[in-house]
C-alpha cells in the first residue's frame, strides 16, 4: 500500500518511520525548504531530532507529487490546518483519508470528522487516535492506537497498514467518542500540569485526572459518543498519558503556568502546537450550550483567558460544595 503522509511535524514523521517498514511512504512538508532539509539530512531535526528517516520514505514539498499513486492519505496537520488542507485536496477526488489531529475547531466548534465531511464529502474517512507520544512511536516502543470510522473496510485497511511490531491498532465505529477523548484530555492535561507546577502533590493530580475523566464522559455522552469508548484507549488511556507524561506538550503548558510564566511566554517558547489551549475555549462553549457541568474546564479557561492566577483556579475547584461522585 502506498501511503502519503501530509504534514512533517513530529507525529507525521513518526508515522512515516513506522509505516515505511512495510510500505512505500511519501512524507509531505508544506514548506519546500523543510522538505529539502528532510531529504538531505534524512532526519527531522526541527520536530523529531535523532530519528533516522529510512530509505522507504520519500520527502517532498509538492502536494501533487505526494499524492501521486497514494492509496491511503494521512492528514498529519494540527487541527488549525485541517480544513485548509482538506480544501486543497477537494479538487483531487481523494479516496481514503485518515487524520491524526485532536481538538475542536475554534470558529465552528466542530470535531475533526465534521470538518472533513464538510470539505471532502465523497471521501472514505477515519480518525487515528490514542495514547501516543511521537518520539516513542518512532523509536519502536509499544503503543496502542484506535482507528475509528463508520466504514468497517477502511478500519481494516488502516489496521493492515499500521498494525505491526510494537504498534497495535484497534478498531472502533465511535468517531465522536474517539475524537472527544482526544480533544478534552488536552484541557485536563493543562490542569494537571498547573497542579504539578504548583507542587500540590500526586494526590491532587490523581483527583484531577479522575474528575477530568468524569468531565470527558459527560461531554462525550452529550455529543453522541459511547461510555465504553471514553473508558478505552482514546479516552482514559490518552488522558492518563497526557496528564502524567514528561513529553506532553499540554502538561508542559500547565507546568509553566503553575511555575509563574505567562501564557504568551509559554507558547512562544514551546515551538510546537499545544492543542489544549484553543480547544479549552471551544469545549467550554459547547459544554454551556449543552448544559454540561465541567468545572475543571472552566478553571482552565479562567487561567488561560481571564488572567486568573493558577493557584486561585485550583482553590476554586477545592472550594466547590460537596456532592455525590458521578
Q: Which of 102, 185, 307, 323 is catalytic?
A: 185
Q: Note the pLDDT of residue 322.
A: 74
Q: Is pLDDT of 133 > 80?
A: yes
User: 116 pLDDT band (50/70/90 cuts)?
Assistant: very high
What are the chain's domains?
Answer: 3-173 (3.40.50.720), 183-318 (1.10.1040.10)
Helix, strand, coil share of the chain (percent; to 5):
55, 15, 30
13-26 confidence digits (pLDDT tens): 999 999 999 999 99
Q: Looking up cell 485497511, which residue turns up?
A: 157
Which pTM does this prediction carry?
0.94
Pairing of strands 96-99, 124-129: parallel
Instruction: Report how many helices (DSSP H) and strands (DSSP E) the chain contains, helices first.
Output: 16, 10
What pLDDT shows up at residue 315? 81
- Count the residues in the chain: 326
Find out whether 113 and 175 touch, Cβ atoms under 8 Å.
yes
In the residue annotation, 307 being an active-site residue is answered as no
Amino acid at each position: 500500500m502506498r501511503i502519503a503522509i501530509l504534514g512533517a511535524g513530529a507525529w507525521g514523521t513518526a508515522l512515516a518511520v513506522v509505516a515505511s517498514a512495510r510500505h512505500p511512504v511519501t512524507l509531505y512538508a508544506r514548506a519546500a525548504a523543510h522538505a529539502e532539509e528532510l531529504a538531505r539530512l534524512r532526519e527531522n531535526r526541527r520536530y523529531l531530532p535523532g530519528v533516522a528517516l529510512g530509505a522507504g520514505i520519500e520527502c517532498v514539498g509538492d502536494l501533487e507529487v505526494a499524492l501521486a499513486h497514494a492509496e491511503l492519505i494521512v492528514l498529519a496537520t494540527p487541527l488549525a490546518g485541517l480544513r485548509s488542507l482538506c480544501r486543497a485536496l477537494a479538487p483531487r477526488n481523494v479516496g481514503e483519508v485518515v487524520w491524526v489531529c485532536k481538538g475542536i475547531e475554534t470558529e465552528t466548534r466542530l470535531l475533526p470528522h465534521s470538518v472533513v465531511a464538510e470539505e471532502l464529502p465523497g471521501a472514505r474517512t477515519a480518525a487515528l487516535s490514542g495514547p501516543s507520544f511521537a518520539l516513542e512511536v518512532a523509536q519502536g516502543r509499544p503503543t496502542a492506537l484506535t482507528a475509528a470510522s463508520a466504514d468497517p473496510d477502511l478500519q481494516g485497511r488502516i489496521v493492515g497498514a499500521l498494525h505491526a511490531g510494537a504498534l497495535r491498532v484497534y478498531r472502533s465505529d465511535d468517531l465522536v467518542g474517539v475524537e472527544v477523548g482526544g480533544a478534552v484530555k488536552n484541557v485536563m492535561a493543562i490542569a494537571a500540569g498547573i497542579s504539578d507546577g504548583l507542587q500540590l502533590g500526586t494526590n491532587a493530580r490523581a483527583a484531577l485526572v479522575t474528575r477530568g475523566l468524569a468531565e470527558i464522559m459527560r461531554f462525550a455522552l452529550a455529543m453522541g459518543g459511547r461510555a465504553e469508548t471514553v473508558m478505552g484507549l482514546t479516552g482514559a488511556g490518552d488522558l492518563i498519558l497526557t496528564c502524567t507524561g514528561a513529553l506532553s506538550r499540554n502538561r508542559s503548558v500547565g507546568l509553566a503556568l503553575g511555575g509563574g510564566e505567562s501564557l504568551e511566554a509559554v507558547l512562544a517558547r514551546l515551538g510546537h502546537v499545544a492543542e489544549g489551549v484553543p480547544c479549552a475555549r471551544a469545549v467550554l462553549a459547547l459544554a454551556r450550550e449543552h448544559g454540561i457541568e465541567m468545572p475543571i474546564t472552566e478553571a482552565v479557561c479562567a487561567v488561560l483567558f481571564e488572567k486568573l492566577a493558577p493557584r486561585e483556579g485550583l482553590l476554586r475547584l477545592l472550594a466547590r460544595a460537596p456532592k455525590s461522585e458521578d
